[in-house]
Amino acid sequence: MTKQVNIAILGFGTVGSGVYQVLTEGKESIKHRELVNIDVRRILVRDLVTERNIGLAPIETFATDFADIINDPEISIVVECMGGTVPAKDYILGALAAGKTVVTSNKEVLAKHWPEFERQAKATGAGLYFEATAGGGVPIIRTLLDSMQGNNITHLMGIVNGTTNYILTKMADEGRPYAEVLAEAQKLGYAEANPSADVDGWDSVYKLSILASIAFHARVNIDDIYREGISLVSAEDIAVAKKLGYTIKLLAIGKKMNNNLEVRVHPTMLHNSHPLANVSGVFNGIFLTGDAVDDIMLYGRGAGKLPTASAIVSDIIYASNVAEHRYMTFVNEFDAPQWLVHQKDWLSGYFIRLTASDELGSLSKIAGVLGDSGVSVHSVMQFNENAHKNTAELVFITDTARELSVQSALARLRALSCVISVDSVMRVEE
């Protein structure tokens, strides 16, 4: 027997209109396959005059007052596609308080207010679904919740931001500088006019908070995630990485060993043999390691109108067909659980590029500082030599070392008279 489900969509921009398109064009096939007849009863917009997509749906579907949605008893699912935290947070809480299930693609509001949302959902028995928050069209959350329950996840590593991946791919393929490629990405619509959320790593932090919480069965607050963006990645870094057989990616990394957890977002040198090294352009890739399944990787479009809509519609159908909504089984509070130790002194390989005086003894002094700091050098290369300036560019790849040991070594290197500048430091994952 086919079930009737009426929904409301909050926001009718790229994502909201994409959800409407998928539900409208796929209405009959969804009904046939899933035995659910989904009707969009209301679409909330700020006003009818400036709404650019007003012609895509019947005018009587649109509303400008959230109360029209909350007070409609026939609407059972509210789909939030507005982005940001205001007014999205209040609308989500209002819908949940009214007993309406919420499906959202808004990673920022979920990462910041998830515990509050879940408490409200539990209080009324409403559902809270968010597949589209962490991987766009890549079904990573459903994989973690419904396919890997028999595993303890030990590693999570992913390219979860298409904008930064596009920029780094273009820089690598064409040898162009960061600022030039960023401007192109903005012109093409891959980057916002204010690109900070993407290029400074915030978007990846929100997504890692959600994914790591599920994967490691403990609430991971965004404040506990180390963050670096890509603005300091230079064309020289990428050129040297290519010569060494590496690719530079902005990675969201989570690792858990016993009760020790490390969560970090930063540019990373990946060996070209790693599957994530071949994820290019605006695509996303998420690499997981479970104690039973070992390594798996999910790959696909992490953003865009229809890929994101695909994940949202999947959640709508899933929510429509469950007899009882499920919630997280870990303690979902704002503060990290007391048993969890957030490791700041993690282990990693490191890439260090510096400019030194081209004089006898410089290399041994630099290597000596690294060794005295507990940082073992795996390899060292001299990439250029300028007789006029009497300088040399030295590149060190370290063995696995502690983060704090490397930072201590860097401070001492900068104080050496033979070191003119430390030009780049990047973590290395094999």
Q: Which residues are catalytic?
A: 207
CA angle 408, 409, 412 (to 5 degrees): 90
> How many other CB atoms are there within 10 angstroms of residue 75's CB atom?
22
The single residue listed with the structure tokens 């050098």 is 377
Instruction: Report the distance separating Cα 205 and Cα 194, nearest Å.
Output: 17
State the Rg of the chain over Cα: 24
Burial class (CB in 10 A: 0-12, 13-18, 19+), 70: middle
Amino acid symbol at 247: T
CA proximity to 317, closest of 71, 11, 2: 2
- Residue in the structure block whose two tokens are 């012109």: 187
Closest Cα to residue 287, out of 146, 131, 160? 160
Residue matched to tokens 């290197």: 413
Q: How far separated are the first and last CA of the chain, in Å rounded?
A: 52
Identify which of 378, 377, 371 has the alpha carbon closest to the alpha carbon of residue 409.
Answer: 371
CA atoms of 132 and 79, how far apart (whole Å): 11
Q: How far apart are CA 346 and CA 82, in angstroms?
A: 37
Amino acid at 92: I
